[in-house]
Each structure stands twice: as structure tokens, then as C-alpha cells.
Chains A and B, each alone.
Chain A
Amino acid sequence: MTRNLAGRKALRVQTPEGVIFNLRVAGVFTRFLALSIDLGVITAVSSLLSIVTALLAIVSIDFARALSVIAYFVLSIGYGIFTEWHWRGQSWGKRIMRLRVIDASGLKLQFSQIVIRNLLRPVDLLPFGYLLGGTISFWNRHGQRLGDLAANTTVIYIPESFALNTQQLEESKYNSFREFPHLEARLRQRVPPVEAALALDAILRRDELDPKARVELFGEFANYFRLLVPFEEHIDESITDEQFVRNVVTSLYRQKSTDMQERLFTSGR
């Protein structure tokens, strides 16, 4: 099963140019929440429609009732098709939950795919409450229900535009690790991205923590990093766990020398 850096289900696509990207597949629970929002929207719109059709009862009660029956049917069947086509794979629920339906090959979503994934919903609903579709989606490596399998689609999370705050790190004090470039190199090699980001986050939010929790958290981080890269005692014996973690994070994110920058940004351009 393909998983992303955080160990979650991911859709892996390799482009003809050799670029590989992993898109995080939406979980069953999040999809269920999006579906609940969509059902709420359908209920609200159908209530509005019934008010409008009720007004037509002045002309003909029979006609108003017929219109109400047909309008509810068109709304319940067509809502997903219309919104996902209009918003490129998103309904109201999916927009709120930051989800999007995409082609499982990474290509552009086609109308026929949207129609099939929405109209095959009845079989996913069996025997009740999406039990079949939910179970299949849970075990499927791309989180696909039966409708998604037939349409070759899947639902992914949309990552938010990120904001990397390294300002506070630059203001940090002297980093004793800079005197040991081989250890810094090992840190960059061995520290996984997720843990690096977690440590950065912990440093940036350290003032929000209780004193006791702060000591415990940075103690755990420091022990973890020491396991990944063993430091000689004299290097870190005189600094606290928090300073140790801070040094690690600064080493991971710090600015490199000018010649390295030039090599990076002039090559291949």
C-alpha cells in the first residue's frame, strides 16, 4: 500500500518527466463528514424548493406535487454531479472539508467519471448507511468505494498553502553544533521530515507550554535525536535538552554558505 511521508494512504503518480508525487487520500471519517454536510445542503435546498412548489399549488395542486417529487429526485441525484463538475471535483461538503475528487491516474477529471461515481452510489449504500462502500473504501489502498473504482477516481485532501516560520530560529543564540559539520550532515540525513517539522513547531510554540510539559517534551525530542545521531558527551553535556533540540532544528533549517546557494540555484537553469 502506498503511503506518504506521514505514513498515511497516498496516491502515487509518476509523470513522464520522472517526477513522482504523492497525494494524501481522504479518510473514511472525513468523507463521511463531507457527505453529512452535503446531505444537509440537499435537505435545505429541497425545503426551499418545496416552499416554491407549494406556491404553485395556487395554479394546480397536482402539478405542484409532481414538480416537488421530480425536483427532489433531480436534486438528490444531480447535486453531486453538478457541484463536482462545476467545482472540479468538489461539492459543498468537500470544499468545507478541503477534499477533492480526482482522477486516480492524476489526469483531468472527466464528466463521465463524475456521473459514474455518483450514480453507482446505490451499490455503495448497501445493505444500509454506506456499509459496503465504506468497508471497501477503508481497505482499498486509494480509499476508493465501488463508485470510485468504476470511475477510476479517488478523493484526496487539498494541502493548505504553507507558511514556514523560520524567523525565530534566526534570532536564536550561538549554535555549538556548527563546529561539527559531520554531525549536522548526519542529522540532515537521518531526521525524517515529519519529525523535523514537529520539532520546529515545538520550538516555535515553546512559550505556550507548561514548564513541566515543556521539560518533558524537549527531553523526549532530545533523546529521540540522540538515538538517531549519537553525539559525543562533551558536545552536548553543557546544554539543556531544549537547547539541544533548538540546535538540531537550526542545523536542519539553517542557511548554508553562499557558494552552496550558488551551486544550487545556477545548476540546470
Chain B
Amino acid sequence: MILDLKHFLRVERPLWDELEGLLRRMEDDHATRLTLEETRRFHYLYDRTASDLLRLGTFAASPEMAGYLESLVARAYGEIHETRDARRRFRFFNWVRREFPRTFRRRIRAFGLAVALTVLGSIFGAGLLRLDPDAKDVLLPFAHLMGKPSERVAQEEQSRGRELTGVKATFAGELMTHNIRVSLMTLAMGMTYGVGTVVLLFYNGVILGAVSYDYIQDGQTRFLVGWLLPHGSVEIPSILIAGQAGFILAGALLGSRQRLSLRERLAAVRSDLVTLIGGFSLLLVWAGTVEAFFSQYHEPVLPYGVKIAFGLLELVGLFSYLTFSGRRDNEDGEGMS
């Protein structure tokens, strides 16, 4: 088609400018709602600009104009054809009460896999340390865990938590941010078809198993449980939830038993991933606070019985929350993975 470019521009450009103005209004403010009349006008402008683009498609004279029209049509197309529910208002308490625990339950099999890998890692770590006590240097890359557990316990009980005086809040902040970063990495490793997530969870398990075995064989079980349970009862499940999210991502990439395209599979898990990220991040903020302000105090300042009871209470609370919260309401898709 041969086009009179000047005339074409003179007639059409005001309409493109009008469409761009409407688009800018909608893009600048998420809450913008067009009136019925404006919506009709918007649709008309979109149709007309799209037809201008078609007309220009066979004309060899202006790639800049074609690029500009393509960009306009693309922006308007996104606004008009978007059918996903994006305007639903986020309600925090509803999210905590219903959405997070429901998502967790809907994807429970991925969580089970994360638990199994961590348990396997723990058994491996404990077994390795039993067979070769010298492997401690390799398995536990933390200076404060290198010595004999009973000596450390005596030292900790003697210090009465004084070494953390004046730095507890900083320590809590460092713990929170570090643990969230590790959890995000565990999730992101799902993009390696889950291989990276498997490695991180297994390694985490190895450390946990090795430390536990080291303390138990030295007769420090009460200290170990009293030290780990208050924050570990929330921190360990949080990292497992991050692993769960990693496996959901890997499952979408692998796409077993699904007839959807890769793009559709990833889209189907996306909002669940965001929910789980929000969930484990919140839990890790709590775990970091408890670890800095509570876990580091030992007998005689804080009896181990109290610490263990507190940890157990948290564990039961977390289990009940994830199992029962939001269950009474209509719950779609429960039990799917």
C-alpha cells in the first residue's frame, strides 16, 4: 500500500497523542478508573492505532513511526486484554490467616520432599561424624562449634549472656537478613531444575545432624535442645518452606504429568511462590529476634526447661497454624501439590 505520510500523520497523530495521554494517566496511577465513556474512547483509540500500525506495515518509509506505534499498541493491548485479577486489594491479616497456610497445604508434597532431604542430610552428617570424628573441621565451618561441646556449654553458662550485651538488636538484624538471603537462594536454586535446592537442603541437614550428634555424644542434649529449639522451631521450618518453594519452581520447569506449556506452568505457580516468600520471610524475622534475645541465654539465667517449653510451644503453634488456619472457610484445591 502506498501511503501519503504527511496526510497520514496530520490526521492520525492527534489520536495517537490522545491514546498516549490516557495510557500515561493509567500508568502513573494504579488506582485510575476510567468512566464508561472514557473506556469506550480508549478502546476506539486502540483499534484505530492498531489499524494504523497494520496500514503502516507495508509502507517502507518510517521505522521510527512503526516502532512508536508498536509501543503504543503494546501498552494499550496490555491494558485492554489483561484478565488476570490484579486489582484485588491486599489485606495483610487475611493473607496471614488464610492465604499463606492454604498455599503451604496446597503444596505440601514439595514441603515433604524438603523435609526428607534435610533429614537425609542430618543422618548423613551424624553418621559421618560417628565414623570419622576428625571430619568435624570440614563439616562444621563455624569457629564456636569447633571445640568440645561440654567446654563450650561451661563457657556459655559462665558468661550469662554478657557477650551479647549492647549488640543484641544488631545480632538480630544480621540473623534475619542472613537467613532470608539463604532462604531466597534456596528458592532461586529451583531454577537449576531443583538440583541447587537439593544440595542446599541436604548440606543444611548435614550441618544440623553433625552438630546434634557432636553435642549428644558429649552428653549435652539438654543444652542443645534448649539452645536450638526456641529459634530453630521456626527457623528450620522457614528454610524448609523456602526449599518447598524451590521445588515448586523446579516442578514447574520439569512439568511432569502436565499438559501445559512451560510459560503456563510457571504462571500457575507464581503467586504461590510469592506467598511462600512472604511467609518464610515473616517467620525468619521472628526467628532472628528469638535467637538474639532469648536463645543465647542459658542456665542459670534461663532454665533449660523454660527454653525447651517455649520452643515446643512455638513448634506446636506453628504446626497448628500451618495445618488448621483458614481451613474452616471454603478451601479450593486443598491437598494438591
Binding site for B on A (CB under 8 A): 4-6, 13, 15-24, 60-63, 65-67, 69-70, 73, 77, 88, 102-113, 115-116, 119-123, 146, 149-152, 158-162, 164, 166, 185, 188-189, 191-194, 196-197, 200, 252-253, 255-256, 260-261, 264-265, 268
Contact = CB atoms under 8 A, between A and B. Distances in A.
Given A62-B169, A88-B27, A107-B84, A261 B79 contact: no
B6 A16 contact: no
A63 B168 CA distance: 9
Given A110-B86, A116-B273, A255-B4, A17 B50 contact: yes
A41 to B, nearest CB: 20
B169 A264 contact: no
30 contacts: A5-B63, A19-B50, A19-B54, A21-B74, A24-B67, A61-B166, A62-B169, A106-B77, A108-B82, A112-B273, A112-B274, A115-B277, A116-B273, A121-B188, A122-B184, A123-B189, A123-B191, A146-B188, A152-B263, A152-B270, A162-B65, A162-B67, A162-B68, A164-B64, A166-B6, A191-B60, A193-B61, A196-B60, A252-B61, A265-B11
Contacts of A4: 67
Contacts, number: 197
B150 interface: no
A150 B74 contact: no
B2 A188 contact: yes
Contact of A21 (B47, B53, B170, B263): B53
A256 B2 contact: yes
Nearest to B273: A116
A250 B189 CA distance: 58
A121 B191 CA distance: 11
B78 A107 contact: yes
Contacts of B185: 122-123
Given A197-B64, A252-B60, A255-B7, A103 B270 contact: no
Interface residues of B, number: 69
A88 to B, nearest CB: 5
Pairs of residues from A and B, 7 with the lowest C-beta to C-beta distance, nearest first: A66-B169, A162-B64, A69-B173, A108-B82, A66-B173, A123-B188, A21-B70
Contacts of B221: none
Contacts of A159: 64, 67-68, 70-71
Contacts of A193: 59-63, 66
Given A70-B173, A149-B266, A152-B267, A119 B74 contact: no
B196 A123 contact: yes
B166 A253 contact: no
B188 A122 contact: yes
A181 B27 CA distance: 47
A23 B65 contact: no
Interface in B145-196: 166-170, 172-174, 176-177, 180-181, 184-185, 187-189, 191-192, 196
Among B7, B63, B184, which residue has the most Cβ atoms of chain A within 10 A?
A: B63
Interface in B31-81: 47, 50-51, 53-55, 57, 59-71, 73-74, 77-79, 81
Contacts of B306: none
Contacts of A19: 50-51, 53-54, 73
Interface of B: 1-9, 11, 27, 47, 50-51, 53-55, 57, 59-71, 73-74, 77-79, 81-82, 84, 86, 166-170, 172-174, 176-177, 180-181, 184-185, 187-189, 191-192, 196, 249, 263, 266-267, 270-271, 273-274, 277
A69 B68 contact: no
A193 B66 CA distance: 10
Given A150-B266, A264-B4, 12 more contacts: A5-B66, A65-B173, A70-B177, A73-B177, A111-B274, A115-B277, A151-B270, A152-B267, A162-B62, A164-B5, A164-B62, A192-B60
Nearest to B62: A164
A252 B61 CA distance: 7
A21 B60 contact: no
A268 B65 CA distance: 22
A211 B57 CA distance: 36
B20 to A, nearest CB: 8
B169 A119 contact: no
B282 to A, nearest CB: 14
A201 to B, nearest CB: 10
Contact of A111 (B62, B73, B86, B192): B86
A139 to B, nearest CB: 16
Contacts of B65: 162, 164
Nearest to B185: A122
B74 A23 contact: yes
Contacts of B50: 15, 17, 19
Nearest to B272: A112
Contacts of B73: 15, 19, 21
B238 to A, nearest CB: 15
Contacts of A69: 170, 173-174, 177
A165 B187 CA distance: 53
Contacts of A191: 60
Contacts of A268: 51
A104 B273 CA distance: 19
A158 B71 contact: yes
Nearest to B52: A19
A22 B187 CA distance: 33
Nearest to B3: A264
A250 to B, nearest CB: 11
B254 to A, nearest CB: 13
